[in-house]
Amino acid sequence: MNRRELLEMSVGLGSAAALLGPLMKAAQAEPSASSARAAATPNPLRPPAEGDIPVAFLISDDAVVIDFAGPWEVFESVNVMGRSPARPFRPYTVAETTAPIHASGGMTITPNYSFASAPMPKVLVIPAQSDPTDAVIAWIRNVTRTSDVTMSVCTGAFLLAKTGLLNGKAVATHHSAYADLAMAFPDLRVKRGARFVESGNVASSGGLSSGIDLALHVVERYFGRAIALSTADNLEYQGQGWMNPDSNQVYAARRVSTDQHPLCAVCDMDVDASTSPKSSYRGRTYYFCMDAHKTLFDTSPDRFIVG
C-alpha cells in the first residue's frame, strides 16, 4: 500500500475527523481583534463542479527546490471526498522548452510541458529561479489573464515583478531581499513581516517554506478550512502561517548590526567582517554580503542606515 492509499483509507475510516478535532476547534474559536481579519477567508475561489484544477509550476535553471516542491506537495495531497475527481488539483511543470533544467542543489528536472504545449493553468506557481527571458515574461502575462491565482514564492517575486503585474501592489519576498526588491521595483510596496500577500489574482509569499502556507491558503480559498486543515494534517505540517498572512512579524523590523555580530548593511544577512566587502561612511564601517550590495550602498548610503 502506498502513502496515498494509506491516507485515503484513513480518511475513509473517519480517523481524519478525530485527528482534526483539536485543530478545527482552535480554528473555529472566536478570533481576537488582532487576528479577526486573518481568520476570515477572503475572496473565496469557486472550483469547477467536476474536473481538475490545473496548477502550473514555472521552472528554469536554478529553480529553488523547496519553493516549488513544497507547494507541489500541498496541491498534490488535497483530497475532497465525494467529489469527482477526489484529487482536484493537477500539478505539472512548465518551462520555455522541455530540455532538462538544473534546479538548486544539482537536481535535474525534465519539464512536463513547454510554453507551446502547456495546458492553461488556473493556478500558476513561480519559484525563485534564473533571470527570465522575454518569452517567460510574455507567458506569465498571458496565463495571468485567466488564472485564478498567479503566485510567486520567495525571490520569485522579482520575476513576477518584471511582468508589471505587481505594479502599485503590496508584495512579499524573502526577508533578505526586502531592500533589493524595493530598489529594483520602486512602484511596489514591499511588505515586511508578511507570510504572504494577495491582490486580486496575484499573490506573493515570503521565503522558501512560506510557499507551503500560501498554497494551503489557496486550497482554503477553493475548498474551505476543513479541507486545508486535513491537507496540512496529512502532510504533518504544524505551521499555521497559512491562517495569518502577517505571521512573519519576526522579520518586520530590521536587524541591527553590531561590532560583535555584523550584518550586511543592505539585506541584514550575517557577514564575516574579516572577509566581506566594506565601506566607510561618516566615520563608521559598513559590511556587505556581496559586492553588488556594497555598490547599492555606496550609491545612496542614507537609504540603508538604521537609526
Residue-wise pLDDT tens digits, 100-114? 999 999 999 999 999
Residue 43's pLDDT is what? 85
Query: Rounded distance, CA 274 to CA 17, Å?
Result: 56
* More confident position, 41 or 180: 180
Single out the residue of 84, 68, 111 nearest to residue 76, CA to CA. 68
Is the pLDDT confidence value at 19 over 60? no
- To which H or E segment does residue 4 belong? helix 3-12
Same domain? For 237 and 293 the reply is no
Judge if the upstream peptide bond of residue 121 is cis by omega within 30 degrees of 0. no
3-state DSSP call for residue 264?
strand
Same domain? For 137 and 160 the reply is yes
Whether 29 maps to a domain, the answer reads no
Query: Rounded distance, CA 268 to CA 186, Å?
Result: 20
CATH number at residue 190: 3.40.50.880
Give the residue numbers spanning the domain of 270: 254-307
Residue 16's pLDDT is what? 43
Single out the residue of 289, 251, 247, 249 nearest to residue 269, CA to CA. 289
Residue carrying the nine cell digits 498571458: 142
Asked if residues 211 and 71 have their Cβ atoms less than 8 Å apart, the reply is yes
Summarize pLDDT for 210-220 with one digit per residue, the tens. Answer: 999 999 999 99
Lowest pLDDT segment from 20-29, 116-125, 192-201, 243-252: 20-29
Query: Rounded distance, CA 277 to CA 279, Å?
Result: 7
Q: What mean pLDDT do residues 140-155 have?
A: 98
Residue 303's pLDDT is what? 84
Q: What torsion, rounded to 10 degrees, do the Cα atoms 202, 206, 207, 212 define?
A: -70
3-state DSSP call for residue 266?
coil
Residue 124's pLDDT is what? 99
Is the pLDDT confidence value at 20 over 50? no
At position 12, the amino acid (one-letter code) is G
Q: What mean pLDDT do residues 252-270 have?
A: 92
Same domain? For 245 and 259 the reply is no
Same domain? For 212 and 108 the reply is yes
Same domain? For 217 and 90 the reply is yes
Name, in order, each residue with C-beta under 8 angstroms of 80's C-beta and a sequence gap of 6 or more: 86, 87, 88, 223, 227
Is the pLDDT confidence value at 297 over 60? yes
Whether 27 maps to a domain, the answer reads no
Whether 209 maps to a domain, the answer reads yes
Residue 41's pLDDT is what? 56
Indicate the pairing of strand 196-199 with strand 202-205: antiparallel
State pTM to two decimals.
Answer: 0.85
Q: How far is CA 230 from the centre of its chain?
A: 20
What value does the mean pLDDT of the chain take? Answer: 89
Lowest pLDDT segment from 26-40, 179-193, 261-275: 26-40
Query: Rounded distance, CA 263 to CA 273, Å?
Result: 9
Query: Rounded distance, CA 295 to CA 251, Å?
Result: 24
Q: How many helices (H) and strands (E) does the chain have?
A: 10, 13
Same domain? For 260 and 210 the reply is no
Whether 54 maps to a domain, the answer reads yes
Q: Where are the beta strands (DSSP E) in 11-99?
A: 53-58, 89-95
Residue 3's pLDDT is what? 45
Instruction: State how many domains the chain has.
Output: 2
Same domain? For 86 and 230 the reply is yes
Is the pLDDT confidence value at 24 over 60? no
Predicted confidence band of residue 307 (pLDDT cuts 50, 70, 90): low
Query: Rounded distance, CA 108 to CA 164, Å?
Result: 30
Is the pLDDT confidence value at 304 over 70? yes
Predicted confidence band of residue 305 (pLDDT cuts 50, 70, 90): confident
Q: What mean pLDDT do residues 174-203 have?
A: 95
Whether 32 maps to a domain, the answer reads no
Asked if residues 286 and 279 have their Cβ atoms less than 8 Å apart, the reply is yes
